[in-house]
Structure formats: structure tokens, C-alpha cells
Amino acid sequence: MDIKSSLHQIKEKFKGNKFAPAFNAFHTFLYTPNDVTKGGTHIKAADDLKRTMNMVILSLVPCLLFGIFNAGYQHYAAIDAANGVIREVSLFGNFINWENFILGATKVIPLVVVSYVVGLTVEFIFAVIKGHEVEEGYLVTGMLVPLIVPVDLPLWMLSVAVIFGVVIGKEVFGGTGMNILNPALTIRAFLFFAYPTWMSGDKVWVHGAVERTGTPEAISGETILGSYAQNQEIMYSLYDMFIGFIPGSVGETSKILIIFGALFLIFTKIGSWRIMLSTILGALFMGLIFNQVVDFGWITETSKFYGLMNVPFWEHLLIGSILFGAVFMATDPVTAAQTLKGKWIYGFLIGFISIMIRVFNPAYPEGVFLAILLMNVFAPTIDHYVIEANIKNRLNRLKIKSS
Amino acid sequence: MGLLSKKDAKLILDPLSDNNPITIQVLGICSALAITAELEASVVMSVAVLFVMGVGNVVISLIRNIIPSRIKIIVQLIVIATLVIIVDLVLKAYAYELSKTLSVFVGLIITNCIIMGRFEAFALGNGLWRSFLDGIGNAFGYAIILIIVGFFRELLGAGTLWGYPVFGDAIDKTGLYAWGYENNGFMLLSPMALIVVGIIIWIQRSKSTHLIED
């Protein structure tokens, strides 16, 4: 007897058991369920929620791998920089090598493991108590969370945040599909407000920078956004930013891999290209406005906003995590707007507000997550008005015809 | 209870659980969010509200038959305002530091909907003794939630209780902090008070399921 049929037999045997949902979760993860609809015609498709989530995870894997190498690379690069050695990055020379991989893996893999173990445990507990099936929503959240936190984040903080995010952000609303806020971003917001010293500043983004503070071996962990906010010179070239050889949260740095992920999501029709595109348009629009303000001379170099306002509008896409947010966060089908027109508005405002927060609030240089959470809250309102407008349009059309 | 009849005891016990002003009626939320970052402030606030509600309900009950109904709201406001000013002045005289932390929120007891609500709903139609019991009953119901929220927010947010360090010194890294523990700054922000109150409501409703309405 093969595994598939023996698993089905176990399932039949323990039907109605308290822990059946927990078993079923693993079962459907491995195989498509054996209970199928009988009679009549129906659409044959295997892309249930679990397959959909797996696709998103696949699109995130390149970012994760890059993040592992980058975590190691940034650490050694920062040490070199502290010793006065300027590194010339080369992809296959000093970037993809064992040294970087081992250091990065020892930092990043635990984040992934903790995120999944804690989050899925909470999900299983809720499924067993409530007696419903385990929902697949956490599969993607669990992958996103390690990618949007600094590499040196203490693991217990991550666990606390994951418990908070899954319980308060999702389960109290009724689980996957019912949540108002994106769980991964709820987790990040919790971390950001609860432990700001570990989530912002010029130390946490490079492994080792925090422990070495105040010692002779001190290294810098500043992100590009942080440097801009303090009107400092930027040491990274556009090429570095595009490929991702810059400090930042684990998975957000490599723009080219995020674009690959985006294309993959669009091609498999899982991510909404409308939201991605409109988010980028919104960000560019706001960037343009700020550029114009600088051009008109309303903001001069003495202003604390000058550094970020003077960034060429298209460069905003290459720094920070606006692209990551647009592709993987804003497109979350549960919390995004549902109507087509609503998606355009929703995405545009995310981009617009992200750049606004980024420039105006140096304390929150990474405003993308706040912008997306805000628009998550407004998404149902947007949908409501889009639908109302549609109804009104149709009624008007009817009137014209009948009169 | 020998001292109180069953009906009277209900006046005090009901607001503590099944008719709690905060978790069931969801009144008085503003002060519950604003001053619960420290346990001490929540206790003082509870005592102040206890005084205002106990005395206020008695006063309103005493004059309930001579208040012209057209100006009853104004009369109620004057009674509350008088009592609140007494509390404010007492705090300023004997606990100046604390009155500075509580700042406007003592004055804002006046807008606490629980007080006005009990005046309207109970004291205007009931005798002195029963009004008094209702007043302190509701004040205790308010206090218990405030103290629970204040306890958790101060403990997890600042690592202290009543100002005394519980987990060790956060700056010198002693006690729990030596293990890498850190205070949760989110607990000190108001949104977390809302979430803590929400969790209390959640627990209460899952314990006593008859409270759940569709």
C-alpha cells in the first residue's frame, strides 16, 4: 500500500477526532484530498489555497537565498569598511561564497524556523480548539516575516510578535480570509513599536553591528534610507541597489529578484499586476512632487527633508522596501481591495503614502509597511464606493434609455 | 450576605462581571486607554471615580424629586463637576506628582460616560441606599478592569509594578534583562490598552457564553 492510500485510511479512521484538523493539514499539504464532488460537471483544478500559497513561497525563495548571502556579505563588508578597506563587490567572487552563506544561514534560517514553528503552532492550537481545518494562510506569512525583519533580531522577540500577529491580527477575526490587516505586516508593526531599538536605527541592519557598538571593532549598519534621512553621502551605486548588495531587512534588498518574483506571480495569475503597477505609479508620483518642490527652491539644503526629497523620483523604487511591499505585501488577496477600479486606487495610495511617510518622518524611514496597513484598513471602504458608483452609473444608463 | 438583601447585592456584584461598564457596556474607554500605562495611576483614577460615583449617585438620588426634568443634565453636570474639583484639589494637595501625571484626565472624569449613565439610568429613579450601592458597584467594575489593564501594561511595558522594578534593572542589565529580555514599548502606547481590553472581553465572553449576542 502506498503512502497516499494509507494516509487516506488514517483520515477516515479518525474522522471527527479532536486532532483530525491537524492531521488533515499535513495530509492535504502532501496530496490532494480524496473526497471529491460526485456527479454533474465541475471545473477540474488543483490550484486550491494551498497550491496558491506554495506558488507565492516559490517566488519568495530567490529573495530568501539572496538574503542569506547578503547577510554574510554585509557583515564582512562592514568589517572591511571599518578597517578602511573599500570592497568592490563581484557576484561570484566575494558575494556568493561559502563564508557568506554559512554566516548568513546561521542567522537567517533560525528566523525562518522560528517564524514557521511558532506561527503554525498557534494555527494548530486554534484549529483544534475551534474544530475547523487548519488554514493555509500562515504558509506565506511565515515566509514573509523573516524577509522583512533585520537579520539580528532576537528570536524570542520574533516569537512574541508572531503570536501577537497571528492571534490578534488574524485569528480573532476568524482566521485566514477574514483578517483586516496583513498578518506579516502586523507582526512587523508590533516589532517596530514594541522593540524600536531592534527595528530601526543605524545598527540593526548588519549582523554584528549591535554587539560591537562602543568597542574598537564597531561597524556601521546604516541603510541607504537612514543615510539620506541624515543628509549623508551614499556609498552605494545604482547597480548595487538594483542587484541588492545593500544593507536592509533580510529579503528586501535585491530589486531584480523581487521583479522576477513579481513576473512569476503575474504569470501564474496569483498576484494582481494592477496593484503592483499602481503602487509603483503612486510612489513615482509622490517622488516627482518632492523633486518639483526641491526644484522650485522651496526646500533648501538646510532643511532636514532635503536629503530624501532630493532623491531622483525613480530612485525611490531602488531604495528601501517599496518594491517588496508592492509585490508581496500589497497584493495579499485578503486584505487588498477586491474591485478592479478599487485596486488601482488602493495601490496608488499605498505608493503615494509610502513615499510621503519616508520623506516626512525621519524616525520611520521605512514607511511602506505603515502605508500598506493603513490602506488595508481602507480597502473595504474603497470597494464600497467603487460598487456604489457602479450601481449609480447603471441606474443612470437605465434612465437615459427609458426616457 | 446578611448585610445586603439579594437584590441589593446584585447591584454591587453585577457590574463586576455580567454588566461590567467597560467590558460589556463599553463605556469609559477613553480614560481606560489614557491613564493605564502605570498601575499607580490606574488605582488613583479608580479611587477618584469611586468617590465621584458613590457620592454623586447619593446626591442625585436625594434631590431626584426636586430636579426639574428640563434641566436635569445641567444639574447632573454641576454635581459631577463639584466632586471632580474636590478630587482634583485633594490630589494636588497630597499627591502633587501623581496629579501631574494624571493631568487633564482627572478633570475629564466629568465626561466619563459611566457616571452620567448611572445618574440617568439609576440614581434618578431609586432610593438613596440602592443608588449608593449601584454607584460603588459600577465604580468597582470600572476599577477592576483599569487595574488589570494597568497591571499588565506597566509590567510588560516598563518592567515595573507601582514604580518598583520587577524584572531587574533595564539599564544595568540585571535580572531578566541579563538574559536578553527587553521591555515591550508597544505596551505603553494607547493602542495596546485597547487590545488588552479587547482580550479581557474575549476571555470574559468565552467564559460566560450567555453574554454572546448574535
Q: DSSP per residue over B15-28, as a string? A: GGTTT-TTTTT--S
- Average pLDDT over chain B reads 84
Average pLDDT of span B166-192: 80
A391 assigned to some structural domain = no
The cell numbers describing A292, all together, are 518639483
Judge if A249 and A321 occupy the same domain.
no
Q: Is residue A252 a part of any domain in this protein?
A: yes
| CB–CB contact B184 A154 (8 Å) | no
How much is the pLDDT for A294?
84
Round to whole Å and give the CA distance between A44 and A35. Answer: 13
A57 and A204 assigned to the same domain = yes
Task: Sort out which chain A residues have CB atoms less than 8 A from B202's CB and list them.
Answer: 172
- Complex ipTM value: 0.85
Number of C-alpha atoms within 13 angstroms, CB side, residue B75? Answer: 19
Query: Could you count the other beta carbons within 10 Å of the beta carbon of residue B151?
Result: 18
* Inter-chain residue contact A195 with B185, CB threshold 8 Å: yes
Whether A180 and A289 map to the same domain: the answer is no
CA distance A165 to B157: 18
Question: Do the Cβ atoms of A321 and A249 come closer than 8 Å?
Answer: yes
Domain positions in chain B: 6-12+22-150+183-205
Residue in chain B closest to A167 (alpha carbons) equals: B199
- On whether residue A43 sits in a domain, the answer given is no
A250 and A284 inside one domain: no
Determine, for residues B182 and A197 on separate chains, whether the beta-carbon distance falls below 8 Å: yes
Do residues B190 and B153 lie in contact, with contact meaning Cβ atoms separated by under 8 Å?
Answer: no
Q: Does A195 touch chain B (CB under 8 A)?
A: yes
Q: What is the rounded distance in angstroms from the CA atom of residue A45 to the CA atom of residue B116?
A: 60
Could you tell me the sign of the dihedral formed by the alpha carbons of A212, A216, A217, A220, in that order? positive
Q: Which of A228, A246, A236 is nearest to A306 (CA)?
A: A228
In a domain, A266, yes or no: no
Report the DSSP beta bridge partners of residue B164. B161
Given a cut of 50, whether residue B1 has pLDDT beyond it is no
Q: How many CB atoms lie within 10 A of CB B126?
A: 18
Residue (of B168, B145, B147, B166) closest to B40 by Cα position: B147
Note whether residue A403 is domain-resident. no
Kindly determine whether residue A160 and residue B186, on different chains, have CB atoms separated by under 8 Å. Answer: no
A320 and A240, same structural domain?
Answer: no
Q: Which of B180, B181, B185 sits opposite A194 (nearest CB)?
A: B185
Mean pLDDT computed over B8-28 = 80
**Tens-digit pLDDT profile for chain A (403 aa)?**
577 777 777 777 777 677 777 777 777 766 766 666 677 666 666 667 777 888 888 899 999 999 999 888 888 888 887 777 777 777 777 778 888 888 888 889 999 999 999 998 998 888 888 777 777 778 888 899 999 888 888 899 999 999 999 998 888 888 778 888 889 999 999 998 888 888 777 777 787 777 776 666 666 667 777 777 776 777 778 888 888 888 888 888 888 999 999 999 999 888 889 999 999 999 999 989 888 888 887 777 777 777 777 788 888 888 878 889 899 988 888 888 889 999 999 999 999 999 888 888 767 767 888 899 999 999 999 999 999 999 999 999 888 877 6
Is residue A252 domain-shared with residue A277, that is, in the same domain?
no
Minimum distance, in Å, between the CA of residue B180 and any CA atom of chain A: 8
pTM, two decimals, is 0.86
Verify that A21 and A158 share a domain, yes or no: yes
Do A243 and A288 have their domain in common? no
Domain contains A392: no
Residue A279: closest CA among A369, A348, A188: A348
| Contact (Cβ atoms closer than 8 angstroms) between residue A175 and residue A137 | yes
Q: Give me the pLDDT at residue A217, please.
A: 66
Decide if pLDDT at B13 tops 70: yes
Residue A77 falls inside a structural domain: yes
Are A190 and B189 in contact (CB < 8 Å)?
A: no
Choosing from A195, A224, A257, the residue where a domain stops is A257
Residue type at B198 in one-letter notation: G
- Residue A377, domain extent: 271-385
What local confidence, expressed as pLDDT, does residue A32 receive? Answer: 66
What whole-number distance in Å separates Cα of residue A66 and Cα of residue A260? 13
> Could you give the C-alpha distances from A332 to A163, A257, A269, in angstroms and in order?
20, 19, 13
Specify whether the CB–CB gap between A148 and A249 falls below 8 A: yes
- The single-letter code of the amino acid at A234 is I
For the record, the C-alpha cell of A284 comes out as 513615482
Give the residue on A whose Cα is nearest the Cα of B153.
A194
Residue spans of alpha helices (H) in A90-236 = 98-130, 137-147, 155-169, 183-194, 196-199, 224-229
